[in-house]
Amino acid sequence: MGKIEDAIRQKEFKDPYNKAVVNLLYTHSYLVTIQNSLFKPYDISPEQYNVLRILRGQNGQPTTVSSIQDRMLNKMSNASRLVEKLKTKGLLIREECPTDRRQVDVVISEKGLNLLKELEVKVEESNRTLIHLNEEEVAQLNDLLDKMRG
Amino acid sequence: MGKIEDAIRQKEFKDPYNKAVVNLLYTHSYLVTIQNSLFKPYDISPEQYNVLRILRGQNGQPTTVSSIQDRMLNKMSNASRLVEKLKTKGLLIREECPTDRRQVDVVISEKGLNLLKELEVKVEESNRTLIHLNEEEVAQLNDLLDKMRG
DNA sequence: AAATAATAAATGTATATACAAATAATGTTA
DNA sequence: TAACATTATTTGTATATACATTTATTATTT
């Protein structure tokens, strides 16, 4: 039985709203712990995986660093440094934008596409099994999350 | 309208389960961004705040580092270093345990209690307003989160 | 009692988040 | 066109996460 009160050994919360914040923080930790162990053998972090997915979503079109930043799950993350890491690994190509030399064109590489293809299957399967809800409940969860952010 | 598809500009997801994982990661980022700005003026991080709350929950009884670790929202966090930071700020007292010299007794200080008292009111208010759900919905969200972790 | 195992905490290193500031290029305006 | 503002990216610094390793102490076994 996975009630949050037991997980962190706290008897009660001020109100259901304060409980929900703690519950979300704890659930996030549950998620990323599973994700990390999944990504570990591939020498890539969940954040780097996410950047690769954003790049592939562009269908070969170059993307700027700020556009990546925009689409990231964590808006405060540092796309510039993540791109640098992925470039070192040969998973993307980064070059100066010809029309605006402030910008940088980023494109996923063949190696990046292959890694993504291989990893994606495992991630999608993991995501399905790690959420112990039926179809109706998970749809409800999505609606509540969308709504709670206002 | 805060649908996750718009927030990260992704048209569709593999299935509602994969959407829920992304939704949770994104919602977490939404939460901690608000929390960080709230904590900033007090020179304390959400994680440090959480440790202080755990310590106060002991009602003056000394707690060991591993017991703090256990109750933390993020189990992979490093309680040892957080305790060190809080000690430097004078928010807790850390001393060698007399009965077992491997252990360390940690107790929240008067200064820590005062900070907690002041901060807590603001955190609780913030937590209530940042979740745009009614009482019934937030209870539902808590149930779904508890259940999804299995 | 000596050797070994187990436990508690601290430390090392890599990655990422958070946010401010610096740098460089482009746009705008007087 | 020179001065100024804006935009894109990088860099600096502090905090935290993730996980392996080390150190110190206590418990167990032979």
Q: What is the mean pLDDT of residues A126-137?
A: 97
Q: Which of B51, B121, B141, B143 to mutate to test the interface with A (most CBs of A within 10 A)?
A: B141
Give the whole-number percent of chain B exceeding pLDDT 70.
99
CA–CA separation, A76 and B21 (whole Å): 19
Which are the contacts of B71, defined by CB distance < 8 A and separation ≥ 6?
Answer: A8, A9, A10, B54, B57
| pLDDT at site A13 | 93
| pLDDT at site A11 | 86
Q: What is the mean pLDDT of residues A25-33?
A: 95
Q: What is the mean pLDDT of residues A100-116?
A: 97
Residue A1, pLDDT > 80, answer: no
pLDDT digit string, tens, across residues B69-118: 999 999 889 999 999 999 999 999 999 999 999 999 999 999 999 999 99
pLDDT digit string, tens, across residues B3-16: 999 999 888 999 99
| pLDDT at site A42 | 94
CA–CA separation, B2 and A49 (whole Å): 24
Please, what is the Cα angle at B13 between B9 and B19, to 5 degrees? 90
pLDDT digit string, tens, across residues B10-50: 889 999 999 999 999 999 999 999 999 999 999 999 999 99
Nearest CA to B114 out of B33, B18, B61, B42 is that of B42
DSSP string, A88-133: HTTSEEEEE-SS-TTSEEEEE-HHHHHHHHHHHHHHHHHHHHHS--
Q: What is the mean pLDDT of residues A110-131?
A: 96
The radius of gyration of chain B's CA atoms, rounded to the nearest angstrom, is: 19
Chain A residues whose CB is inside 8 A of the B73 CB are 8, 22, 25-26, 29
| pLDDT at site B2 | 81
The highest-level CATH class for domain B44-148 is mainly alpha
Give how far A37 is from chain B: nearest CA, Å. 12
- Give A20's strand partners: none
D19 C1' to B136 CA distance, Å: 40
Q: What is the mean pLDDT of residues A81-109?
A: 96
Strand D nucleotides within 7 Å of a protein CB: 7-12, 15-19, 24-27
CB-based contact, B67 to chain A, within 8 Å: no
User: Strands B92-96 and A92-96: what pairing?
Assistant: unpaired
Question: What average pLDDT does the structure give for chain A?
Answer: 95
* pLDDT level of residue B1 (50, 70, 90 thresholds): low
Q: Which of residues 71-110 of B touch strand C (CB under 7 A)?
A: 78, 80-81, 83-84, 94, 97, 100, 102-104
Strand, helix or coil for residue A95? strand
Q: What is the mean pLDDT of residues A50-65?
A: 94
Q: How many Cα atoms within 13 Å fall on the side-chain side of residue B88?
A: 9
Ranges assigned E (strand) in A5-148: 92-96, 104-108
Per the model's pLDDT, the better-predicted residue between B66 and A75 turns out to be: B66
| pLDDT at site B86 | 97
A45-143 belongs to CATH 1.10.1740.10: no
pLDDT digit string, tens, across residues A69-87: 999 999 889 999 999 999 9
CA–CA separation, B23 and B150 (whole Å): 18
Give the type of residue at B135.
E
Domain boundaries, chain A: 1-42, 45-143
